[in-house]
Chain A
């Protein structure tokens, strides 16, 4: 049985801008059909350039891009038909209303007006924007504008949905609602590629993660394997009463950030019970515990920081 083509297959993709900036230095990337894929990286790493090339907003310098088996160089329109894009910044006409904006996008994708109208209603309702359909876009709240861009990207029912920082500047409640929505879209069979600064977001949503830094892919694996690479986690323990000078935690790297807050590094192969046992021996009671940082964030810093140092030295 023949294997269905990847949602995205990128080979040796490079981009050098007119001013000589090498934004991408020959990256390879595969995104399987139905995947929820996270593309992470610091500012200026090459995420937006990669997305720009895939969506034909940026001209590539070299390499190939195939989307569901269609080569971007040979059939650009065919590739575009497969993709829906939610850009980082609001890029709709602020003087138009959601109904116009989404209907027009449907028209650009060749969807006849009757069907476009039905689809527009469906996605505006899904995004909770139907009641605001004739309100000028500039009058919508930030969260509504983000949802409008998602509705616009979904109206032609793309097989691949790309979201560039979809929850940047969005409050927690709306972020969670957006996550739920994206999970639903993915469960319905749409491949999702997400770039985000919120590593918690990637950890919660993505099954596969690639980390890009200085135009190179520095990590590309499934989330489980990626997190397995994290050898040490830092926990923050809140103590019921001020801790004595000697906590009896020999062999553990630890420090007190204040009298009742303990930070401790614990290797993955060691049990947390040992720590609690040692603290109990000192009559120290722990009232609560949390990860110091998001696990992925720690790994991200580990992967990206060395490059930053090199950049600083060069």
Chain B
């Protein structure tokens, strides 16, 4: 680069270079998740199908209706969100930790790509997988429910995308901190799974006795599952089983995204878990 190049021109060319970097990372991540589809796509679809059969059909037929809709219809949004959460998280944590483990993360670290591009590229991979699996899980649900109608597609889509973004960042932070493969499984097993199961996937927290209902309101996943269920079932579900205010839910998800994104960027800039 010429020494006489104007600063504005440099900024412009760096922006373009970073966009190429982002495009490269997105292609790499999507190629990866499609290449290993038996690991990334098939298992979550099978697991959720089993949930539909066991909780929706076999047990659900005895539960009857929940807030005015058949129980299986009530759990469809919860199961889709569970897939979105798990897959966004696990895609990023496994992809980035593998890169750390094999040391090919150095390919990115020595390049002039901005750290935010690395984070956004990995997030894009996690979000793609989450949306892909979420869509398949939603499609599979059509074999089990009589009618699948969505109250608001934009609302449903935006909640799913924001949730996928949030948990992709969570997976990224987990990968940064992980030193061995065992560390990759700790958060999903001991934090994510309990919070998801207790986050209103299979029930409305309005049905819980006190103090459990109040305690559940501190579980961030409640807001995501409920907002997603609101987007699908709002016009059919009894108002008393709508657990959250949709505005509060959006605000909460956005605040969590900002907090986690800032934390991940701070860690990346300091080289935590990456640089000696």
Contact = CB atoms under 8 A, between A and B. Distances in A.
Interface string B175-214: 0000000000000000000000000000000000000000
B103 A78 contact: no
Given A110-B20, A111-B20, A81 B106 contact: no
A57 B110 contact: yes
**A interface, size bucket:** 35 or more
A249 to B, nearest CB: 54
Contacts of A56: 109-110, 275
Contacts of A113: 20, 23
B112 interface: yes
Interface stretch (B11-19, B69-77, B232-240): B11-19
Contacts, number: 92
B1 interface: yes
Nearest to B114: A77
B146 interface: no
Interface string A160-182: 00000000000000000000000
Interface in B1-48: 1, 3, 13-14, 16-18, 20-21, 23-25, 27-28, 31, 35
A91 interface: yes
A26 B151 CA distance: 66
Contacts of A100: 28, 31
Contact of B21 (A69, A89, A93, A108): A108
Interface in A158-215: none
Contact of A109 (B99, B106, B112, B276): B112
Interface in B54-112: 98-99, 102-104, 106-112
A27 interface: no
Contact of B276 (A17, A77, A94, A110): A17
A112 interface: yes
B111 A109 contact: yes
A135 interface: no
Contacts of A91: 102-104, 106-107
B113 interface: yes
A58 B16 contact: no
A236 to B, nearest CB: 42
| Most interface-central of B1, B98, B112 (chain A CB within 10 A) | B112
B104 A81 contact: no
A74 to B, nearest CB: 13
Given A52-B276, A59-B276, A104 B107 contact: yes
Contacts of A8: none
B150 to A, nearest CB: 37
Nearest to B102: A93
Interface string A17-35: 1100000000000000000
B3 A81 contact: no
A57 B106 contact: yes
A108 B276 contact: no
Nearest to A79: B112
B111 A108 contact: yes
A274 to B, nearest CB: 55
A107 B107 CA distance: 11
A132 interface: no
A108 B110 CA distance: 9
Pairs of residues from A and B, 6 with the lowest C-beta to C-beta distance, nearest first? A110-B17, A107-B24, A108-B111, A77-B112, A91-B103, A80-B112
30 contacts: A18-B276, A52-B276, A57-B275, A59-B276, A77-B112, A80-B110, A80-B111, A85-B110, A89-B103, A92-B102, A93-B99, A103-B24, A104-B24, A105-B107, A107-B21, A108-B25, A108-B108, A108-B112, A108-B113, A109-B17, A109-B21, A109-B111, A109-B112, A110-B13, A110-B14, A110-B17, A110-B112, A110-B113, A113-B23, A152-B107
Given A59-B271, A91-B102, A91-B107, 8 more contacts: A76-B112, A77-B113, A80-B111, A100-B31, A107-B20, A107-B21, A110-B17, A113-B20
Interface of A: 17-18, 52, 55-59, 69, 76-78, 80-81, 83, 85, 87, 89, 91-95, 100, 103-113, 152
